[in-house]
Amino acid sequence: MTSFITIVLFSFAFLMAVGLARSLSDRGAAGEVGLDAGPSPNRRPQIAAGLVCLLLGGGGAGGLVKGYDHFQFALTLAGAVGALAALNHAAGHLQIRENGIWLFSDLIPWERVVSHRWSDDEPLALVLCVKSWTWLKREHCELPPVMIPERFRDAFDAALQNGLSDRTGDGTQRRPV
């Protein structure tokens, strides 16, 4: 049973490390900030998740002091990478960028954004429709709603419309903001 959990922990650490690396590389490719709507409204739970991951990793590291064990190493690695990923997301902002929408820790390039709308239930909830990221799902999909502070709603709407309408015929993107 321990070997199965070890494999799961290594897999978790690998997937989180890939996501973290992609987030960090996307941050450099996102371009200049045109509009910043502030940090994630869920940053406190994300910070708490990061601290829990640090505690798990610390527990694994404590076990490593006693002697090398694959399970303890996997727990330490998963805790450290999970904490970094959670804290990276918690530190992110919702922004309109030169090359797309920065959604807290992920870049959604303009060419992936199909449309946007405001939720009928919540007037400050932005719903983005994007092209699927995977070849398994060919159609467009709606992302979960993102709350926009009221003072940024009109500016976000205008920037999104500008970003979506500034596509050129050859697939490249003119600066949206």
Q: What is the pLDDT of residues 24-58, one digit of tens each?
A: 888 888 889 988 988 888 889 999 999 998 888 87
Closest-CA residue to 73 (of 81, 17, 21): 81
Query: Residue 59 above 90 pLDDT?
Result: no
What's the confidence (pLDDT) of residue 44?
Answer: 93
- The residue extents of the domains of the chain are 2-30+41-91, 94-165
The listed CATH number (2.20.25, 1.10.3470, 2.30.29, 1.20.1070) that belongs to domain 94-165: 2.30.29
DSSP state of 168: -
- Tell me the average pLDDT of the chain: 83
What 3-state class would DSSP assign to 106? strand
- C-alpha angle 70-72-76 in degrees, rounded to nearest 5: 115
pTM summary value? 0.74
